[in-house]
Amino acid sequence: MAMLSNLGNYKNFGLLVIRLGLGAMFIYHGLPKLEGGPEMWKGLGGAAANVGITFWPVLWGFLSALVEAGGGVLLILGLGFRPVCVLLLINLIVAASFLFHKGDGWAGAAHPIEDAIMFAGLLFVGPGKYSVDKR
């Protein structure tokens, strides 16, 4: 389609749109978890047991919430982009593992798997020129 053929000239803008959208959604979902306190963090950190991490669930839950909310902010800014993508990818793998072990199957784990695939791809692409990292 000739009408859409020039959109390839706006790859950096497309990356900005992806960063803004994903970042906003991760802040939206992560902030309540971060504000939830030790009881919420313990529940979140308990999910790490599905990947063999059974100690300090409150700490792991806090770090998970921090990565989700703080990672959303850093995604929007494009700051520390690749390390944030790695941390969010790990977070999403644990979330998908938890949902599988809970019995939700592929349908229940689809959302974290989709986001994990997105972050795995963004690791290679980078944040684009409209970012603090400017790569």
pLDDT digits (tens, 9 = 90+) for 10-47: 899 999 999 999 999 999 999 999 999 999 898 888 88
pTM of the entire structure? 0.89
Supply the pLDDT for residue 90. 94
pLDDT digits (tens, 9 = 90+) for 36-89: 999 989 888 888 887 788 889 999 999 999 999 999 999 999 999 999 999 999
Supply the pLDDT for residue 135. 55
Which distant-in-sequence residues (6+ apart) come within 8 Å of 33 by Cβ?
Answer: 40, 41, 44, 61, 64, 65, 68, 69
